[in-house]
Homo-oligomer: A and B are copies of this chain.
Amino acid sequence: MTHADLFRALADPTRRAVFERLAAGEMTVSELKAGFAVSQPAISQHLAALRGAGLVEERRQGRNAYYRARPEGLAPLTDWVERYRTFWPARIAALKDVLKGMDQ
């Protein structure tokens, strides 16, 4: 699982949409397919790509495959961005606000 895999996985709109739907909750391939205008093999292929990028996990049960998002898989991406946050002071304040709101 390399940097390039991650970026390339997210480059496709359909694949991003799949990830977004899985972030909402675990789902089988059939349930996923229902939301998209592509064939079942296409979905399986996207899932394989997302899996290779560390963005998705699967759990087999009977003849169903349950997939769920793996948000930690985004870590390499944010780490990469982090390197340029130095040159990007404007957004730091906003981010601080977000985190402040998370304090309990």
- Which residues of A are at the interface with B, using a C-beta cutoff of 8 A? 3-4, 7-8, 10-11, 13, 16, 20, 23, 69, 71-72, 74-75, 77-78, 81-85, 87-88, 90-92, 95-96, 98-99, 102
Contacts and interface: CB of A to CB of B under 8 A. Distances in A.
Nearest to A103: B96
A91 B75 contact: yes
A99 B88 contact: no
A10 B84 CA distance: 14
A74 B82 contact: no
12 contacts: A3-B13, A7-B10, A8-B11, A71-B88, A74-B88, A75-B91, A77-B77, A77-B81, A82-B98, A92-B99, A95-B95, A96-B99
A88 B95 CA distance: 16
